[in-house]
Amino acid sequence: MKKVFLFLSVFAMAGIANASILTNGDFQTGDATGWGNWNSTITDQDNSGNPLTGNGKTTAGGYGDFTAKAWGDGQQWGNGGFGQTVAATAGTLYTVSAEAMHITGDELTNGGIGVLKLTFRDAANNPLNGPYGEEIAMITAGSTKDIWHSLSGSREAPVDTTQVEVTLMMQWTTTGPDGGAAFFDNVELVPEPTTMALLGLGGLFLRRRRK
């Protein structure tokens, strides 16, 4: 009986712990609430007034599935995007995921990329996984247009981590001409507590119940 209850407690805590810790990761506020952004906007359609065919909305107006659109500034390494920083714990595994798309008529060309990044930082704001963080996954000019691509990856927070930033960015990586924009949606950042932490929580529940 005790073992069964312990198992159920662990299972329940794991369920709670698996929620994303980002604010407005689906952009359904219709604006960039929770995010810092540059050369980018929140939209439910592209800038020419055409629908994002990949989100299942096929007629102008009445969309409602807001997405994050990022574009560059026309120069090599020029970029635009969104960033959100949240508190993080060293040694914890963080899984980041997002959907990304580029569309016909505003597609990524040449070296244009739409990239999902993670940057771990210490309390003094120093980056801990490279000077510009780490590219976790991306779409490129070669990615199939007009459909959402799932980007994801997991990284363990390095020693001294107190915060982590999720970055969604469109960047021009070649001398050009590169063009286009990258759309992002349904961004999640999920910390995964260690097994020992979960067992500890399960045991805590068990002891409290037995009193």
Distances (CA, A) of 139 to 81, 84, 147, 190, 205: 14, 20, 11, 22, 44
From the list 120, 184, 185, 198, which residue makes contact with Ca ion (rule: CB under 5 A)?
185
Q: Which residues contact 75 (CB under 8 A, 6 or more apart)?
A: 172, 176
Nearer to Ca ion, 65 or 146 (CB): 65
**DSSP SS3 for 9:** helix
Among all residues, whose Cβ is closest to Ca ion? 26
Per DSSP, the residues of 83-107 read: EEEEE--TT-EEEEEEEEE--TTS-
Selected binder of Ca ion within 26, 134, 146, 192 (CB under 5 A): 26
Residue 158 carries which DSSP code? P
Tell the smallest beta-carbon distance from residue 170 to Ca ion (Å). Answer: 17
Binding mask 63-82 for Ca ion (x = CB under 5 A): --xx----------------
Q: Which stretch binds Ca ion (CB under 5 A): 95-103, 125-133, 182-190, 196-204?
A: 182-190
- Residues 29-58 within binding reach of Ca ion (CB under 5 A): none
> By C-beta, is 65 or 107 nearer to Ca ion?
65
Minimum separation from the CB atom of position 68 to Ca ion (A): 8
8 Cβ neighbours under 8 A, 6+ residues apart: none
Q: Which residues have CB under 8 Å from 160's CB, separation 6+?
A: 90, 122, 123, 128
Q: Which is nearer to Ca ion, 55 or 79 (CB)?
A: 55
Check binding of 134 to Ca ion (CB under 5 A). no
Binding site for Ca ion (CB under 5 A): 26-27, 65-66, 185
